[in-house]
Chain A
Amino acid sequence: MNTTAPMIEIAAVNKWYGAGFQVLKNCSLSVRRGEVVVVCGPSGSGKSTLIKCVNGLEPVNDGTIKVDGAAVTDPSTKLPSLRAKVGMVFQHFELFPHMNVLENLCIGQEKVLKRGASEARAKAQALLERVGMTAHSHKYPGQLSGGQQQRIAIARALAMDPIAMLFDEPTSALDPEMITEVLDVMVSLAQEGMTMMVVTHEMGFARKVADRVVFMDRGEIVEDTQKQRFFEDPQSDRAKLFLSKILSH
């Protein structure tokens, strides 16, 4: 595979909900290998929908999306095997509530990647240590705090050895004191060179590790710039307004 080719390539994507409402308008965006791209914008701007299109959880009506050279939008592409290579973290964690932490981390490894039980378990233990959750391996998701659940969710995605990670508002459902523990894990991932596409309002995270910031509004990608430029000199009025609102205090 050509290493200079983008890991995620979104080209001229359009998407409608029903007949009338267009959620994505001619969106194009690419994420290179090892790059961290933060996608922000007001609620309803289509950013969550866009990231769900990347691994085909949401279908698009028009345009193409490629991940590591494979076209997600091509009906002949086998989505399960493509998704197994791309980790995703959700706003509401979505751990499997009927499985304990260890089982949550092993199920994909065993059933999708066909790893043996002991290999999966060893991998899970290593990841639990990495996210600081070793002591909780036999608890059920319902017994954990939001921040703990989200760290497990990140570990579950990492257990599949993904080539890229998608984060869909990973801290939006968390109490303020739990946001840092999740962001710390994400920052270390970014610093290790993981390719990441992150939908978030955490501008501190963007400043710290993002390579680029993409600003969306009403289904359009309004800005796609280096982070320095986005924070210091946003070009569009809509981005200026957005920044003034979320950075005012």
Chain B
Amino acid sequence: MKGWHWDGFFEYLTNAYLLEGALITLGLTIFSMIFGLMLGFVIAVMRMSKYKFLSGPAYFYTWIFRGTPLLVQLIIIYTGLPQMGIKLSVLESTLIGLTLNEAAYLSEIVRAGIAAVPRGQVNAARAIGMTEFQVMRYVVAPQAFRIIIPPLGNSVNGVLKTTSIASIISMEELLRRTQVLIQEKFLVLELFVVAALYYLVMTTVWELVQRRIERRFGRAFEAQASEPASLGEQR
């Protein structure tokens, strides 16, 4: 193939420096999803409160963080805040930025999941004497979680790729390390195809993991009389 160097390609495919970058990307994804989900849950519950002093700030939060680019948020956190004496490391800035941004989106997913649990379930849980916290913990949240697994999986997939934006503030994740390696041999195409493959492998593995999670949480519903909806007439 003209202009394509297989030897360079294979060299980068097994490059430890790049592989480590992919693991850092994975770590950023995992932690920002976990923290984002926790914060997103709090925001969702606040947003659904009948009290304005809770729902107001929650709405304001999602409005700000969904309404501005992550890139801008990261630059403000890493480059802007030191001006006010708040100095954060690259890793701290990245994790905080990704978490705050993701929480805004996840709160909307969580809110939809909670709203989809039938009102009768809440009444039944209250009727056996559960406190509001117990109703959420044992009855609403588990059912809401099952409902939101598919959109949640979508978010994980999205964050895996979005972490690349942190390369702008010199976070040494997969993309940043790919860019660093250019200086070595200027095999831009080979190098970036390898990076793309790494991302593809990670999103594909996640897809398989997500399917397992869906099956696990769908257990109780599998044996139900009605078949799950599928499009297209069965013949």
Taking Cβ atoms with an 8 Å cutoff, the residues of A that contact B are: 52, 55, 57, 79-88, 90, 92, 94-100, 107-108, 111-113, 139-140, 142-143, 156-157, 160
Contact = CB atoms under 8 A, between A and B. Distances in A.
Given A84-B129, A98-B143, A142-B223, A112 B123 contact: no
B126 to A, nearest CB: 6
Nearest to A57: B123
Given A96-B121, A98-B146, A100-B220, A107 B138 contact: yes
Contacts of A112: 128-130, 134
Contacts of A90: 120, 123-124, 127
A97 B127 contact: no
Given A57-B123, A90-B124, A92-B120, A97 B129 contact: no
B129 A160 contact: yes
Given A111-B138, A140-B221, A142-B225, A94 B129 contact: no
A94 B130 contact: no
B204 to A, nearest CB: 29
Contact of A96 (B129, B139, B146, B224): B139
Nearest to A89: B127
18 contacts: A80-B126, A83-B126, A83-B128, A87-B127, A94-B121, A94-B124, A96-B139, A96-B143, A97-B220, A98-B142, A111-B134, A112-B128, A142-B221, A142-B223, A143-B223, A157-B127, A160-B128, A160-B129
A111 B223 contact: no
A140 B220 contact: yes
B129 A108 contact: yes
B131 interface: yes
Nearest to A86: B127
Interface residues of B, number: 25
B123 A108 contact: no
B235 to A, nearest CB: 27
In the A-B complex, list the 5 residue pairs whose CB atoms are closest, starting with the nearest: A84-B129, A142-B224, A94-B124, A108-B128, A88-B127
B132 to A, nearest CB: 8
Contacts of A156: 128
B123 A94 contact: yes
Contacts of A98: 142-143, 146, 217, 220
A195 to B, nearest CB: 16
A80 B223 contact: no
